[in-house]
Structure 1
Amino acid sequence: MPVTPNSIITPQTPRTGTAVLTTASTDIDDAPSASVLLTMAGENGARVTRIRAAPRATVTATNLLLYLSKDGGETQRLVDSRLMAAHTVSNTTEIPRTDFGYSDGNPLILEAGDRLYAAATVASAAGIVVAAEWADY
């Protein structure tokens, strides 16, 4: 949608997305081997206010990686990471969430068409679910 110069633009369309990470991505470079698409900003950009991850089975400590791509996924640049602590999942324990720290007061701003990809440095057969909340402008 066209914008009017010198007018405030607020997020218009709430969006959510998930990615399931199962394969280890140990090549932390511009073309990671096992990254999964998490979000894609709309035609006027987006404001990401939450990214967090939860294991679906017992996990060892693993580094969760967040990549930004401006060219449809061809080149992915590392922009953030968080350590997911080791945890034994059972019917009597709460599954911990690893939060990337984004919020309304600390958003991640994306340009039009930007894509976020997630990856984990340790494989998990059952997968680690990464969830994102954002709003397109």
Structure 2
Amino acid sequence: MDGNQLWEQRFDASDTRLGWGPAASPVLHDDTLFIVNDTDEDSFVVALDAATGEERWRRDRDEGTNWSTPFVWQNEIRTELVTTGSDQVRSYDLNGQELWSFSGLSSITIPQPFSAHGLSLYHLWICW
């Protein structure tokens, strides 16, 4: 590695809860970089080609501001991108199609989902 920048991808700034800004980390899986950007104005999940930065797919999300890093869950059935958001958890296949979701959770999420013993687990911050 010689330290030369290969590509750059910029996203428009959007208002976030309390003005804290975005904080979810990008996640690299194979040759794809996944980014979740949940704001009060323009929430989305996007998959970028890790080598070129080219957008492979983007899905709008009906979410408010959240700061949870997405999680690539490799289970016995398939590999999924699991995301937490306002009041719900959603899973996408690696092509961006929503696989499942459930609601009834916190309006704010910060911790990253994780897995153990074949289960996908969620630790949610319960707040207003």
TM-score by length of 2: 0.29
Higher RCO structure (Cα 8 Å, ≥6 apart): 1
Q: Between Structure 1 and Structure 2, whose CA radius of gyration is higher?
A: 1
TM-score by length of 1: 0.27
